[in-house]
Amino acid sequence: MRSAGRVVAEAHRLVRTLIAPGITTAEIDLAVERLFEQRGAQPLFKGVPGKVPFPAVCCISVNEEVVHGIPGHRALQAGDIVKVDTGCRLDGWCGDSAWTYAVGEVSEECRELMRVGQENLELAIREMGRSERWSQVAEKMESHVRDSGFSVVEQFVGHGIGREMHEDPQVPNFVSKQLLRQDFRLVPGLVLAIEPMVNAGGKTVRILSDHWTVETRDKRPSVHFEHTVAMTDQGPSILTDGS
């Protein structure tokens, strides 16, 4: 899985060089698709079934869009925040990662939201090595977001990952009765796609008429960060950081 993760990390390094006012989300997606082709990797997202199959190799979501945005002719503008989520399969194993990028100078609110979202992912990975069960990690993630004055998206969660992109268990970023019923131990060999989604306003989201794009109902901005993380005998190991 680390080999797939390295390709995903390379894709994000490429995206980081492309993010600028004027580039379209379709151009970013095409660049990542070409990279996957060059590396002999299979895109995980393209063709995912739904009311309409997902048409791209990246989910690219801008500002109030939370996740699952479809790349197209939209040109990025200074002040936007853009979430790029992508994954691939290489040699039968999957890697999946998302990051939120600033386009030029962004508002103070967006800078703070991005800081809290990235901290939340880092907190989760750190606490995996200190906790026995996922609910302990999720509780700290939820508290961190709420103490910062933001809200946790609850309609979408992280997931197990391995031979397939989406495997058990579900990996929420908050504590609920369902999580406590389905809580799981953090043991060596477990691999999770941890992906906090944090909203500046309320937690409520909706799916748009394209059947994929998720946006905040109050139109406030949102951030999304994700890494594929393996539990090892030495603790958590990030598989999508390029190392």
Q: What is the mean pLDDT of each run of 10 residues along the chain (243 residues)?
A: 97 98 98 98 97 97 98 98 98 98 98 98 98 98 98 98 97 94 97 98 98 98 98 97 75
- Characterize the bridge pairing of strands 214-216 and 222-224: unpaired
Q: Tell me if 76 sits within 8 A of 21, measured CB to CB.
A: yes
Structural domains in the chain, CATH included, are 2-238 (3.90.230.10)
- Model pLDDT, residue 238: 97
- Model pLDDT, residue 243: 59
CA distance 211 to 96: 21
Residue 71 CB-density burial (10 A; 0-12 exposed, 13-18 middle, 19+ buried): buried
- Model pLDDT, residue 96: 98
The whole-angstrom distance between residue 10's C-alpha and the CA centroid of its chain comes to 16
pTM surpassing 0.95? Answer: yes
Residue 106: count other Cβ atoms within 10 Å of its Cβ.
18
- Model pLDDT, residue 242: 75
**Using the 8-state DSSP alphabet, how is residue 38 labeled?**
H
**Using the 8-state DSSP alphabet, how is residue 69 labeled?**
P
